[in-house]
Amino acid sequence: MRKSLVAGLACLSLAVTAAAPYAALAKPIEISPTENGQSSLRPLTSDVAVIAHRGASAYGPEHTLVAYKQAMTMQADYVEFDLQMTKDGQLIAMHDETLARTTNAKELYPDRAPWRVKDFTLDEIKRLDAGSWFNKAYPDKAKQAYIGQQVPTLEEAIEFVKQHGNGKVGLYMETKAPNVYPGMEEKVIDVLKKTNVLDSEMLFLESFSEDSLRKLKTLAPDVKLIQLYTGAMLAGKDVHQEMKRISEYAAGVGPSKELVVPKLMEAAHQNQLLIHPWTVNAQDDMVSLLSLGVDGAFTNNTDLLVDLVEKPFISHGVASGDVTDSSAILWARTNAATNVQFEISTDSTFKKETIVKTSPADVAHDFTVNVKIDGLKPDTTYYYRAHSVSSKYSVNGSFKTAPEENSLKPLTMVWGGDTGGQGEIPPFKSYKSMAALNPDFFLFSGDTIYADNATPAVPNPPSGTVQDFWAKYKENRTDAGLRSLLQKTGTFAIWDDHEVTNDFSGPSQPLTPTGLSAFKDYWPISGERSEADKLYHKYSWGNTMDMMILNNRGYRSPNTQADGADKTMLGDEQLHWLKQQLLESDSKVKLIATSVPISIPTGKAMARDGWANGDNVNPNDPTGYENEFKEISDFIIEKGIKNVFFVTTDVHFAEVIKYDANHDGKADYNELISGPIGAVKINPGTLDPTFGPDKLYAEGNFFNYGVFRVDPATQQATVEIQDENGKTHFSHTFELE
Ligand code: G3P
Ligand code: CA
């Protein structure tokens, strides 16, 4: 939120008259730890600077006093000047090295091509019209006042901001093409001294040229310098080393906006470097960068960024989840306390039959909201949008309700998991590829965060406070791909171990309650599931599929306990519930969404974390949960339950397995495994033979996700494993019985 310089304001007027240093009296920029833990994905100070790029250049001719005035009226924190130097050594505010694009030089001086600034004196430049081009280029924004606007000198620009900024507007200037203008740095410092702003706290000097910045450093050691970056300048560099290196002379970095990802945020903030990306004009991009914790941004649209930094807004996207044939959970997060309004309709313009629901976003849930929408029609696409009541910025989403009961409609779902740990930090490409499939829903099969791994959100793991856990979810939501997938379709999120800590057993892990509450805060989870922390529940897609979502962590015995009748993964109640659901289900396919695998030994020796004890590794390993799984396996066989598919991730490679647990030559159930989306990539190994696995496919060492299609008309179910670019690596069709 913006810096209040009321005190400074009073002093400033004094300063101007008494020629006292510009803002020496103003409040210094404080580096303050915010309330939310150790995340480096937050601004270094509580201020996010709105930097008017070339003035309010989306609304008026760049680098004219009128565009600077517009920026200040819109409450910019800084006005940015690009600097060029005239033939007679005067500094002017202009972006290009030539006068051609933003003045009428071609008309006034037709024989002076290519109209380089350095070939013209200030007097000649002062005769130019630096505004009419804007009226021609943007007729819908044209104004009489722009005609005849002059090219300002740096001194005029500075005095103009001092005069109209009320002490609240700072200066941000770039030495453009310093190699073209030898001695430019000295001139800049001279003008800053002459205009009494050299000691101002609200002064930044920026350049793409490191040499120019290092020169400015020697000339004015206390001035805050910003090293600008294009993609090419950062390509191939280790950002941590690079940020450490430039922190010798720079107070911050100005990267092109697409370069801003959690890794860069961490590298810069760990070196106390501010991050000011350029040029950010769309509110979606602004929100994306603010969610990453930038310290400010260059924008042509001053007002749009001010609107966001001044009022609570939807900061980390929206999502829908636990969708049935008549209801859905809608989720959103804001960046401060406010009320969130949702509009839901079958009309994507929200003009007719729109349901409106409002819910408070408060700090107790890290400003996340979950609202249930009932009374929806089956098999229908619904559109929704959310905005904080104090902000114009809204985010849209859509989801499809399940077909009515007993109907047989085709289904396409995607599933994946394991995101944001073990050295892998967002963004992850798989999300966009999944969204492109327009799936009916997304099953997020656990390890939706790695709370116990080092990432920019929690550089010193494990996560210990709820703030750490929240920071992890926010980190993953900085990923535009994930946000777009969650906006595009309904999500069923289940947790696995890294939502709390590696291989944890709920009842015996002190962090379980904290991890669980953060998990429920950050996913659109229905009351049926969150009540009593069950998390397990059945969802149907008409009669095409029943999906039994399991909770493999909440009720489990410690991994180290020897397997036997008294060891459980699901707990008696859930185990009974699962059997009941399988028995009662008359759907074509029964999908069991589990967060751990059946026959791939996971965890470690003597503390197996999946169902298998790992006979293929050490037949004497007494752990694992095979005793309980055998009960499920036998039940499926004895009751003749057909078309059962266990779907999971967790192992960080993809595999598709048929099981003939009673060795009668016929498959009894199947297991579909994908992943990771964004975590360490592993290669597949051998399988524990206990339940008669028959490996149809196994591939590792690549990011991937799964696609599962059920077509009741052809009585077929098809599984595909696709890599992060959407390329199919494996496809298999099961004939449904
Ligand atoms: O100064 C930040 C940004 O403006 C750099 O790009 O070309 O607009 O000056 P440019
Ligand atoms: Ca610039």
Residue with tokens 């636990």: 322
pLDDT score of 592 more than 50: yes
pLDDT score of 461 more than 60: yes
Residue with tokens 């494996």: 730
Instruction: Check pocket membership of 168 for ligand 1, CB cut-off 6 A.
Output: no
Instruction: Check pocket membership of 536 for ligand 1, CB cut-off 6 A.
Output: no
pLDDT score of 251 more than 80: yes
Tell me which residue has its CA closest to atom 5 in ligand 1: 278
For a ligand 1 pocket test, name from 81, 228, 259, 300 the mutation site with the most ligand atoms within 8 angstroms of its C-beta: 228
Task: Please give the Cα distance from 660 to 666 (Å, whole number).
Answer: 6
pLDDT at 36: 56
Sign of CA dihedral 41, 47, 48, 49: negative
210 CA to centre of ligand 2 in angstroms: 15
For a ligand 1 pocket test, name from 94, 256, 278, 280 the mutation site with the most ligand atoms within 8 angstroms of its C-beta: 278
pLDDT score of 506 more than 50: yes
131 CA to centre of ligand 2 in angstroms: 19
- Side-chain half-sphere CA neighbours of 458 within 13 A: 24
Instruction: Check pocket membership of 521 for ligand 1, CB cut-off 6 A.
Output: no
State the average pLDDT over residues 70-94.
Answer: 98
pLDDT score of 313 more than 80: yes
Q: Is 647 helix (H, G, I), strand (E, B) or coil?
A: strand
Residues 180, 88: contact at Cβ < 8 Å? Answer: no
pLDDT at 19: 41
Instruction: Check pocket membership of 96 for ligand 1, CB cut-off 6 A.
Output: no
567 CA to centre of ligand 1 in angstroms: 63
Considering every ligand atom shown, identify the ligand nearest to the alpha carbon of residue 256 and give its number: 1
- Report pLDDT digits (tens) over 29-51: 444 444 457 899 999 988 899 99
Instruction: Check pocket membership of 278 for ligand 1, CB cut-off 6 A.
Output: yes
Tell me which residue has its CA closest to atom 2 in ligand 1: 278
pLDDT at 532: 85
Instruction: Check pocket membership of 63 for ligand 1, CB cut-off 6 A.
Output: no
Q: What percent of the chain has pLDDT over 70?
A: 95
State the average pLDDT over residues 476-491.
Answer: 98
- Report pLDDT digits (tens) over 223-238: 999 999 999 999 999 9
Residue 625, token pair as written in the block: 């949960």
pLDDT score of 6 more than 90: no
State the average pLDDT over residues 704-723.
Answer: 98
Instruction: Check pocket membership of 62 for ligand 1, CB cut-off 6 A.
Output: no
State the average pLDDT over residues 649-674.
Answer: 98
Instruction: Check pocket membership of 172 for ligand 1, CB cut-off 6 A.
Output: no
Tell me which residue has its CA closest to atom 10 in ligand 1: 95
> What does the radius of gyration of the chain's CA atoms come to, in whole angstroms?
30
257 CA to centre of ligand 2 in angstroms: 13
Confidence at 370, pLDDT banded by 50, 70, 90: very high
pLDDT score of 644 more than 60: yes
pLDDT at 385: 98
pLDDT at 4: 44
For a ligand 1 pocket test, name from 80, 175, 298, 301 the mutation site with the most ligand atoms within 8 angstroms of its C-beta: 298
- Report pLDDT digits (tens) over 344-355: 999 999 998 899
Instruction: Check pocket membership of 655 for ligand 1, CB cut-off 6 A.
Output: no
Catalytic residues: 53, 95
Residue 595, token pair as written in the block: 């967060």
Residue 254 CA: which ligand 1 atom is closest?
2
Q: What is the mean pLDDT of the chain?
A: 94
Tell me which residue has its CA closest to atom 7 in ligand 1: 95
Residues 648, 418: contact at Cβ < 8 Å? Answer: no
173 CA to centre of ligand 2 in angstroms: 7
State the average pLDDT over residues 251-266.
Answer: 97
- Report pLDDT digits (tens) over 119-153: 999 999 999 999 999 999 999 999 999 999 999 99
Instruction: Check pocket membership of 563 for ligand 1, CB cut-off 6 A.
Output: no
Residues 634, 674: contact at Cβ < 8 Å? Answer: no
Residue 206 CA: which ligand 1 atom is closest?
1
pLDDT at 428: 97
Tell me which residue has its CA closest to atom 1 in ligand 1: 174
Tell me which residue has its CA closest to atom 6 in ligand 1: 278
Instruction: Check pocket membership of 252 for ligand 1, CB cut-off 6 A.
Output: no
Residue with tokens 């959970």: 329
31 CA to centre of ligand 2 in angstroms: 25
Pairing mode of beta strands 693-700, 653-659? antiparallel
278 CA to centre of ligand 1 in angstroms: 7
Residue 160: φ, ψ to 5°: -65, -40
Task: Please give the Cα distance from 335 to 369 (Å, whole number).
Answer: 12
For a ligand 1 pocket test, name from 95, 205, 208, 230 the mutation site with the most ligand atoms within 8 angstroms of its C-beta: 95
Instruction: Check pocket membership of 202 for ligand 1, CB cut-off 6 A.
Output: no
Q: Is 200 helix (H, G, I), strand (E, B) or coil?
A: coil
Instruction: Check pocket membership of 671 for ligand 1, CB cut-off 6 A.
Output: no
pLDDT at 3: 44
Report the amino acid identity of residue 319.
A
525 CA to centre of ligand 1 in angstroms: 43
Residue 172 CA: which ligand 1 atom is closest?
1
pLDDT score of 300 more than 90: yes
671 CA to centre of ligand 2 in angstroms: 55
Instruction: Check pocket membership of 254 for ligand 1, CB cut-off 6 A.
Output: yes
Instruction: Check pocket membership of 228 for ligand 1, CB cut-off 6 A.
Output: yes
For a ligand 1 pocket test, name from 63, 175, 225, 279 the mutation site with the most ligand atoms within 8 angstroms of its C-beta: 279
Q: What percent of the chain has pLDDT over 90?
A: 93
Residue 80 CA: which ligand 1 atom is closest?
1
63 CA to centre of ligand 1 in angstroms: 12
State the average pLDDT over residues 546-559.
Answer: 98
Q: CB under 8 Å to 285, separation ≥6 — which residues?
A: 257
CA dihedral 92, 96, 102, 106 (to 10 degrees): 100
State the average pLDDT over residues 533-540.
Answer: 96
Residues 582, 570: contact at Cβ < 8 Å? Answer: no
Task: Please give the Cα distance from 125 to 147 (Å, whole number).
Answer: 15
499 CA to centre of ligand 1 in angstroms: 41
